[in-house]
């Protein structure tokens, strides 16, 4: 089963740490990619990345990961006025949340090169790059 990566957009939700209270209750992420959102909801792990700018340099950080088991499309609109789908965890299921507070900088240069070349939105993460993120959660 594939795992997925998605970016947290501070301009839409504020700093990632500001949503940690909600995430601790029920992990979630947003996307507008239908296929990826639906496939992720079949029990895949979702890794949430945040990009920060420090002295004109982009720093990518791992914020949290969870096991996704549900995908919702908002009736009559979009989540946060922008996203078509919300991935989350079914009621009373273990989302296997792993949260980094504060988020941890990703230093693997191969991962960063791969991540920077990909289109925005949720996408499948290759196994070799997932192992980089898994190692950060230990």
CA dist 56 and 74 (Å) reads: 36
**What phi and psi values does residue 23 have, to the nearest 5 degrees?**
-60, -35
pLDDT value at 120 more than 80: no
Give the span between the Cα atoms of 115 and 34, in whole angstroms: 20
Output the average pLDDT for the chain.
94
pLDDT exceeds 80 at position 27: yes
* CA dist., res. 133 & res. 108, Å (int): 9
User: What is the Cα–Cα distance from 89 to 51, expressed in whole angstroms?
Assistant: 24
CATH 3.10.590 fits 3-136, yes or no: yes
Task: Give the pLDDT band of residue 5 (cuts 50, 70, 90).
Answer: very high
> Binning pLDDT at 50, 70 and 90, where does residue 122 land?
very high
Reported as a single tens digit per residue, the pLDDT across 47-102 is: 999 999 889 899 999 999 999 999 999 988 999 999 999 999 999 899 999 999 99
Quote the pLDDT of residue 77.
92
pLDDT above 90 (res 12): no
HEC string for the chain:
CCEEEEEECHHHHCCHHHHHHHHHHCCEEEECCHHHHHHHCCCCEEEEEEEEEECCEEEEEEEEEEECCEEEECCCCCECCCECEEEECCCCCCCCCEEEEEEEECCCHHHHHHHHHCCCCCEEECHHHHHHHHHHCC
């Amino acid at each position: 089963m594939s795992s997925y990566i998605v970016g947290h957009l501070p301009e839409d939700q504020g700093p990632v740490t500001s949503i940690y209270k909600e995430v601790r209750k029920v992990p979630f992420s947003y996307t507008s990619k239908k296929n990826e959102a639906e496939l992720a909801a079949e029990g895949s792990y979702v890794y949430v990345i945040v990009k920060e700018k420090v002295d004109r340099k982009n720093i990518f950080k791992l914020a949290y990961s969870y096991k996704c088991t549900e995908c919702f499309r908002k009736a009559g609109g979009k989540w946060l006025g922008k996203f078509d789908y919300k991935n989350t965890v079914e009621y009373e299921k273990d989302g296997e949340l792993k949260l980094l507070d504060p988020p941890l900088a990703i230093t693997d240069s191969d991962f960063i090169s791969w991540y920077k070349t990909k289109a925005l939105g949720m996408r499948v993460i290759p196994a070799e790059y997932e192992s980089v993120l898994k190692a950060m959660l230990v």
